[in-house]
């Protein structure tokens, strides 16, 4: 599959590297077509890796990942272009974290809304699926890095889009994939971040994940 990734940070690069390893063609998108981090990533990731602007990545991708900060995601997706996202699955990995007043960050949107819903409203012709935002980047693409069963959540309005993302998650090695329903479930997926940040402070490592025990 051709996959466009919006975002040149740790998440974009980590997902991009794994997707290339799995045989996909990946274009990493940035605000500029000459981003140094993206160029360096291409050099290391091999012949199936390219980079360009957010719009270049969106045009390229049959599926598009949003790996930008939650506060700037709408701006990045606007740069990517509504036409270029039309009818495409947009996997939103972002979190609405505002670090401007230091640590811990606050949530820029919560309770009655979420970044994923903002994106779905702004781009009604895209099929937004929220996934993978509740764990650290290395774990997203390599769940066996920590032992035992642990969970990845996803939600979205389009069943077919969620099935395609589920397939991709399985190819990463995920076994427990919990579909939480429509895109409004992204509120809970994003509001879990304060406890995730606390746990990171307690464990002194980001290499942990949630597992839901059921009776
Ligand atoms: N780090 C993790 O392990 C982790 C885990 C789960 C979820 N997340 C979430 O995943 C997302 C990506 O995190 P990250 O740490 O990889 O990267 P990041 O540093 O949050 O975001 C990097 C991207 O944001 C773009 N950007 C910055 N300011 C912008 C603006 N004003 N307008 C448009 N785009 C802008 C950058 O563009 P340029 O390329 O042009 O610089 C870059 O591509 C975040 O929402 C984060 O909360 C992160």
Write the secondary structure of 29-97 as one string of H (helix), E (strand) and C (coil): EECCCCCHHHHHHHHHHCCCEEEEEHHHHHHHCCEEEECCCCCCHHHHHHHHCHHHHCCCEEEECCCCE
Asked if residue 129 lies in contact with residue 91, where contact means CB atoms within 8 angstroms, the answer is: yes
Q: What distance lies between CA 38 and its chain's CA centroid?
A: 17
**Confidence band (pLDDT; 50, 70, 90) for 200?**
very high
Find how far residue 213's CA is from the centre of its chain.
Answer: 25
Secondary-structure percent of the chain, ordered helix, strand, coil, rounded to 5: 40, 20, 40
Residue 72 in tokens: 């700037």
Res 44: pLDDT: 97
Ligand 1: which of 29, 67, 154, 195 to mutate, judged by most atoms within 8 Å of the beta carbon?
Answer: 67
pTM: 0.98
- How confident is the model over 46-104, as pLDDT tens digits? 999 999 999 999 999 999 999 999 999 999 999 999 999 999 999 999 999 999 999 99
Q: What is the mean pLDDT of the chain?
A: 98
Q: Are 65 and 14 in contact (CB under 8 A)?
A: no
Task: Give the model's pLDDT for residue 72.
Answer: 98
**Encoded tokens for 2:** 């051709």
pLDDT digits (tens, 9 = 90+) for 136-158: 999 999 999 999 999 999 999 99
User: For position 171, what pLDDT does the model report?
Assistant: 98
Give the number of the atom of ligand 1 that is nearest the alpha carbon of residue 66. 11
Dist. CA 100 → ligand 1 center (Å): 15
The pLDDT of residue 214: 93
Q: Using CA atoms, how far apart are residues 146 and 142, in angstroms rounded to an integer?
A: 9
pLDDT of residue 96: 98
Q: Where does the pLDDT of residue 207 fall: very low under 50, low under 70, confident under 90, or very high at 90 and above?
A: very high
Give the pLDDT score at 35. 97
- Which atom belonging to ligand 1 lies closest to the Cα atom of 132? 6
Give percent of the chain above pLDDT 90. Answer: 100
Q: Calculate what percentage of the chain has a pLDDT beyond 70.
A: 100
């Amino acid at each position: 599959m051709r996959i466009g990734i919006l975002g040149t940070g740790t998440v974009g690069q980590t997902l991009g590297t794994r997707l290339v390893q799995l045989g996909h063609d990946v274009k990493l998108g940035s605000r500029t077509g000459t981003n140094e981090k993206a160029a360096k990533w291409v050099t290391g990731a091999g012949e199936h890796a390219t980079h360009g602007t957010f719009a270049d990545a969106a045009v390229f991708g049959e599926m598009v990942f949003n790996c930008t900060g939650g506060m700037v995601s709408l701006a990045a997706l606007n740069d990517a272009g509504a036409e270029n996202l039309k009818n495409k699955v947009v996997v939103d990995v972002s979190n609405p974290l505002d670090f401007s007043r230091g640590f811990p960050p606050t949530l820029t949107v919560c309770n009655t809304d979420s970044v994923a819903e903002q994106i779905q409203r702004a781009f009604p012709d895209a099929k937004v699926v929220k996934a993978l935002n509740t764990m650290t980047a290395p774990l997203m693409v390599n769940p066996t890095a920590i032992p035992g069963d642990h969970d990845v959540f996803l939600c979205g309005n389009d069943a077919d889009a969620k099935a395609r993302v589920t397939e991709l998650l399985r190819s990463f090695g995920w076994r427990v994939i919990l579909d939480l329903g429509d895109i409004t479930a992204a509120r809970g997926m994003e509001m879990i971040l304060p406890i995730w940040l606390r746990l990171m402070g307690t464990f002194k490592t980001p290499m942990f994940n949630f597992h839901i025990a059921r009776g």
